[in-house]
A and B are shown apart, each in its own frame.
Chain A
Amino acid sequence: MTSTRRGKVVSYNKWGYIFLIPFVVVYLLFSFVPLVSTIYNSFFENYRSGLTQIGPTFIGLENFKTILTSGEVWVYAKNTMIMWILGFIPQILISLLLGAWFSDPSLRLGCQGFFKTVIYLPNLIMASAFAMLFFTLFSDGGPINSLLMQMGFISTPFKFLSNVWSARFLVATMNCLMWFGNTTILLMAGMMGIDTSLFEAARVDGATSTQVFFKITLPLLRPILVYVMITSLIGGLQMFDVPQILTKGSGDPMRSTMTLIMYLNKHLFSKNYGLGGALSVILFVITGILSLLVFKLSSRNESN
C-alpha cells in the first residue's frame, strides 16, 4: 500500500463510524439506558400499595435481601429449572440421534429435506398460540381426554392442568417440541464439520457405528454440545409465554409452573419497580455470566 492510497483509505474509514450510528444510537437508547435504569431502580423502594405510591426511597440492597430471603424466588427458580431439564434431556438425546443419522454418509437417508422441514416447523409457531392449543387439547373435556377415553386407557378425564407433574410435563413437552429441530440442525452442522478421515480410519479398524458415535463423534462434538446447553439454559431462564398462557398467568397448580420471568412480569404489572428491578438485575447477572461463557467458547473455536 502506497502512502497516497493510505491517505484515501483513511478518508473512507470515517464511513465505518457513520454506518454504525443507527445501531449504536438505537442500542444505547432502547437497551443500554433501560438496563442502567433497571439497575438504578433496584436500589429504591418503589411500589403501589392500593392507591398510595410508596417511595421511591433509596434503600441500598434491601430489595435484593427481600427477594432472596422471601423463598418465593427460589420456588420459581426451581420450577424454571425443573421444566427446563425435563424438556432439555429428551431434546438433546433426540437431536444427537437424528443429527448422527442425518450426517452419517453410510446410512444415506432419503427425504432429509422433508424431515428437517418437519422437525424445524414447531420452532416458528407462536408460543402463546401453541400453549393455547395445548390448553384446549388437554383440557378436561378436550380431544386428548376423549381420545384416551375412547381408546379405553382411562374411564374419567385426566385433569392434566390440575396435577403438578402433568402440568410441568406439558410445558416441558412444548419446549422440547419447539426446540429439538433447531438443536438437531446445529448439532448436524457440527457433525458435518468433523474430519471424515477419522470415521474412515475407525471403520477400517472395525469399529461399529455405536463405537464411532461414542468414541469419535461425541468427544469431538463437546464444544458444540456445551454451546447448545448454555444457550438452551439462557433460553430456559426466559421461559414465559408457554406457562403464562397455559395457566392464565397463575402458575397453577399451586404455583408449580410459575417461572422467574412470570414472577418478573407480575412485578412489572403491579408496578413494584423496586423488587422487579432487583429480580431483573439478578437475572441479568446470571444470563451475563452464561453469555460470557458462550462468547469464550465460540471465540476459542474460531481461533482453532
Chain B
Amino acid sequence: MDRGRIVGLGIESTAHTFGASVMTEKGAILSNVKDVYRPPAGSGIHPRDASRHHSEVAPSVIKRALSEAGVSFGDLSFVAYSAGPGLGPCLKVGATLARFISSYYRKPIIPVHHGVGHVELGMLLTGAVDPLVVLISGGHTMLLARAGKRWRVFGETLDITLGQLIDQFGRAIGLPSPAGPLVEDLAKKGRRYVSLPYIVKGNDLSYSGIISEVKRIIKKESPEDLAFSVQETAFSMLAETSERALALLKKSEVMVVGGVAANTRLREMLDAASSRHGAQLKVVPPAYAGDCGAQIAWVGHLYFLNGVYTKPENAWVDQSWRIDEVDLAWS
C-alpha cells in the first residue's frame, strides 16, 4: 500500500491532553502519542496546572511521535497545532512549540480548529461522505452538516457541553476527571430512573438544569441511580435533537465524533434514532474518539494539500474560536 510521501506533525493541547502525531497525506497515521493530565479526584481541570503538565511532557511526547513514525524534524513538510477553542494556557503550550519547530527547522505552520479536527479525522476513519455530524467532546456539543466551505451548526447546547455535564457530575460524586468511563460503569449498575429536567428548545438543548437538580438530590439518591438517570436524560435529549436535524436535513449518514462517542449506551441510542430516519450510524474508532494529535495532523494535511499555511510569526491562538467561522480549504 502506498502510504504517501508527505509527512506532517500535528500537536494537540486544548485541554487535558497533550498529543502529537505524524501522518502522511494519504491518511496513514504513522504515530499518535499522548499524555493526559489528571487532576486530583473531585476537582476540575485547572488551566495553569494542565499547562504545566503539558510543558513538562511535551518534549518527550513529540520525540516519541517522531521516532515511532521513523522521521526526523527535517523530514516534516509542516507542523500543525490546535489554535482553539480551548484553555488559553494549554493552547499556548502547543502553539509555542509549533512556532519554535516552524522557525528553527523552517517549516510552514498551520493553525487548526480543534473541533474541525475531530470532524475531519472522523470523516477519514469512518469513510462518511455527507453526514449529519454529532460532535460531543469537552468543548463541544453540536449537530453539524457541511454547507459549502463551512461546517454549519444545526443545533447545540445553550450552556454546558455533554462532556462538561458528565465531568461535573463525576466531580460531584467524587470521581476524578475525565469521568466518562467511570460514570458509564456506574450507570450500568443503576436500576431506578430519577426524574431530571429534560430541556429541548427547538434544535438546541440545555444541560445546566440537570446538574443543578443532581446537586439538590445528591444525598437522597445512590450514585448508581444518578449516573443512570443523568446518562438516560442527557443522551435522550441528544438523540431527540439529532432526530430533529435528520428530519430536516434528510441525511443518510450520522457520524459521531469526540470523546463522549466512546460511550456504548450513547452509541446504542444514536443508532436507534438514526435508523428511525433510514440513516446509517458511523462512529469514530474509540482510540481516536478522545483528543489526540492525529486530528490536528490530518487537518494540517487538508490545508497543506490546498496550499494554505503560514509563517511562524503569524501563529495565534483563539480560546473561543467557533467551528462555523472556520474556512475550509477542501471540498
Is the A/B pair a real complex? no
